[in-house]
Amino acid sequence: MSQKYYDAADAGFRMEMSKLAPEDFKAWMGLNAIPGKDHGQIPPKVRELIAIAVAHATGCPYCIESHVTKGKAVGVTKAEVAEAVLISAALCAGAAAAHGGLAMKFYGEE
């Protein structure tokens, strides 16, 4: 197989969705813009740190690149990125452990 996953050029394929489902795409773009907004109680730097952590939790390489770049522009340090990533990892591990209790419940008695 010669195709690669997460090729930078793949981002262009998202535009096909904008033509096929324009209203839904527009709504998604509105949501996609929320982290970068400069309003409300959470300052831009903190918003981008949250976005960096969530991008790692969801595993979206495009979001990781975007929010690390945007975060750097608003003063996020490399050390803060590392901490955000590790906080994300800790919470993802915690979620797996918490859901492990459900696995035990569903397995039932031996």
Give the structural domain span for 78.
42-107
Determine, yes or no, domain membership for 21: no
Determine, yes or no, domain membership for 20: no
- Residue (of 12, 8, 14, 25) closest to 61 by Cα position: 8
User: What amino acid occupies position 37?
Assistant: K
pLDDT at 5 over 90: no
51 in Cβ contact with 63 (< 8 Å): yes
Say how far apart CA 7 and CA 13 lie, in whole Å: 11
pLDDT at 87 over 80: yes
CATH of the domain at 64: 1.20.1290.10
Total domains, the chain: 1
Written as six digits, the tokens of 106 are: 């569903």
Determine, yes or no, domain membership for 99: yes
Maximum average pLDDT range among 39-48, 53-62, 80-89, 97-106: 80-89
- Residue (of 68, 6, 13) closest to 35 by Cα position: 68
